[in-house]
Amino acid sequence: MPFVHKTISIIIGSLFVGIGVNVFLVPYELLDGGTIGVGLILHYLTGMKIGFVVIMMSIPIFILSWFYNRPYFYNSLHGMMFSSLIIDVLYPMHTLGDELYLAPLTNAVLGGIFVGSGIGIMLRYETSIGGTDLFGQMVAKHLKANPGVIIFFIDIIIICTGSIVFSIGSLYLCCITVICVGVMTSLFSLKKKINLRN
C-alpha cells in the first residue's frame, strides 16, 4: 500500500504546512526558510500568493531532479503541487491567527512545529513540498546525511538574507521558527530510519 501511504502523507503533511504558515507565521510576518520563506517575503512585499511563488521557485530544482534524480522528481511533484494549493486555499485562516492573540514567540514555535511536522510527514514517505526541500533531499542522499539537517542550513541562509535585505519580521523569531522546522523534520526522518532498521 505504498501509494495509499504516500497520498495520505501528502494530504496530512500539506494541511500541517498550510496551517503553520497561515495561522502562525503570516499574522506576525514571520519567515520560514526554503521556497516557503521566499514566498512569504514576496507575499509581505507585494501580496503575491505564497503557494504560487513556491511553484515558480521549485521549477528549476525540479528540472535538475529530472536529469539527476528522476525518482525524486516523481515523488515530490505531487507533494509540491498539493501543498502549494493548500497553502493558498487556507490563506483566509490568517485571520484566525490574529484572533488567537498569541505571543510572537509562541507563534514562531508553533509555526515551526506545524511546518516541520508537515514536511517531516512527507519526507517519511520520500516525498516533499519541492523547492529547497527537494534539493536538500538530493544533497542529503549524495552526502549520506540527514535531510532535516541539510534543509535546516539552507533555511538559515534564506531567513538571514531575507531579514537583513528586506527587514521583514524579527530575525530572532524567524531563527526560532527554522530551528523548530529543522528539529521536527529531523525527528520524523530519524524515526523513518529507525523503523527501517527494525
- pLDDT digits 0-9 by tens, 136-145: 777 877 788 7
User: What is the predicted pLDDT for the residue at 82?
Assistant: 93
pLDDT at 120 over 50: yes
What predicted TM-score, i.e. pTM, was given to this entire model?
A: 0.85
Closest Cα partner for 21 from 82, 90, 80? 90
pLDDT band of residue 165 (cuts 50, 70, 90) is low
User: What is the predicted pLDDT for the residue at 193?
Assistant: 46
pLDDT band of residue 197 (cuts 50, 70, 90) is very low
Burial class of residue 101 (count of CB atoms within 10 Å of its CB; 0-12, 13-18, 19+): exposed
pLDDT above 90: percentage of residues in the chain: 32
Between 126 and 90, the more confident residue is 90
Alpha-carbon distances of 157 from 7, 90, 114, 193, rounded to whole Å? 31, 27, 21, 27
